[in-house]
Amino acid sequence: MDGLEDRTQQIILETNRLRFATWVKEDWEEFRKLTSDPLVVRYLGTGVPWPEGRIKEFVNRQIENWEKHGICLWKLMPKDSDMLIGICGLQRLPEGPDVEIGWWLAPSHWGQGLATDAARQALAYGFDVSNFERIVAIAQSANRDSLHVMEKLGMRFENEAVHKGIRVVVYAITREIFNAARTKGEERA
Ligand SMILES: CC(C)(COP(=O)(O)OP(=O)(O)OC[C@H]1O[C@@H](n2cnc3c(N)ncnc32)[C@H](O)[C@@H]1OP(=O)(O)O)[C@@H](O)C(=O)NCCC(=O)NCCS
């Protein structure tokens, strides 16, 4: 279909509550639950559920990004089951040098600190393993919950723009700032 090899999922990262896994092509069907939930897609693009072709394209792109670049938006699963409860990870922006972090959770898992936990782990991977100097996050200005995650991570507002008629904000964090926040956290623990 697309030359992508059919591999089994691998667990790449873990937190106390979450596992990050690579994708297999068949995951698109389970991922459809997220992409067809109006609460999840509300602030993604035009806010409408994704058609099947777009879901498959997304999954195939993650498989390819992982194989070629060692980063992707990984699947998030709880520690005790293989249920797909969200995504979190890294991808290169289509234009320019920047790498973007992204996160989505099923609404049943909101309000538990899981997105922030997952994002900290993905940032650590980006700085420690992929050796990036800086990571950005982009969200629609109206997506207060996502902006709140950025702020909790210590990301700093960079600029605001209008993309396809929708107001978006860009936040960023450097390796230096992330490491300083990490050291402070370790001292407190
Ligand atoms: C953006 C999104 C991932 C945020 O999820 P979330 O659950 O609100 O984010 P968090 O993981 O930071 O959890 C938030 C709350 O959990 C609560 N919480 C409960 N237990 C907690 C714990 N053990 N540790 C930390 N927080 C905890 C906190 O009160 C926290 O809120 P606060 O920081 O105001 O105190 C979610 O709204 C989503 O998936 N939206 C749809 C997809 C989307 O728009 N993605 C972003 C595109 S840019």
| Cβ-contact 74, 89 below 8 angstroms | yes
Region of 45 on the Ramachandran plot (φ > 0 left; ψ -120 to 50 alpha; else beta):
left
Strand partners, 134: 174
Local confidence pLDDT in tens for the 189 residues of the chain:
455 555 789 999 999 999 999 999 999 999 999 999 999 999 999 999 999 999 999 999 999 999 999 999 999 999 999 999 999 999 999 888 999 999 999 999 999 999 999 999 999 999 999 999 999 999 999 999 999 999 999 999 999 988 888 999 999 999 999 999 888 877 877
To 5 degrees, how large is the angle CA 115–CA 40–CA 110? Answer: 35
What does the pLDDT read at residue 3? 52
Return the residue matching tokens 């700085």.
127
Report how far ligand 1's centroid is from the alpha carbon of 113 (Å): 5
Q: Which residues of 53-70 are buried (b: 16+ CB within 10 A; e: fewer)?
A: eebbebbbebbebbeeee
CATH 3.40.630.30 fits 11-188, yes or no: yes
Cα–Cα distance measured from residue 17 to residue 88, given in angstroms and rounded to the nearest whole number: 14
What does the pLDDT read at residue 184? 83
For the chain, the straight-line distance linking the first and the last C-alpha, in angstroms and rounded, comes to 49
What does the pLDDT read at residue 56? 98
Structure tokens at 14: 């873990």
Report how far ligand 1's centroid is from the alpha carbon of 87 (Å): 13
Report how far ligand 1's centroid is from the alpha carbon of 96 (Å): 29
Task: Report the residue among 87, 91, 104, 109 best suited for mutation to probe ligand 1: largest number of ligand atoms under 8 A from its CB.
Answer: 104
Structure tokens at 72: 């992707």
Return the residue matching tokens 């709880």.
78
Measured by CA distance, the residue closest to atom 3 of ligand 1 is 104
| Cβ-contact 64, 4 below 8 angstroms | yes
Residue 139 DSSP label: E
What pTM, to 2 d.p., does this model score? 0.95
Measured by CA distance, the residue closest to atom 44 of ligand 1 is 43
Q: Does 145 contact ligand 1 (Cβ within 6 A)?
A: yes
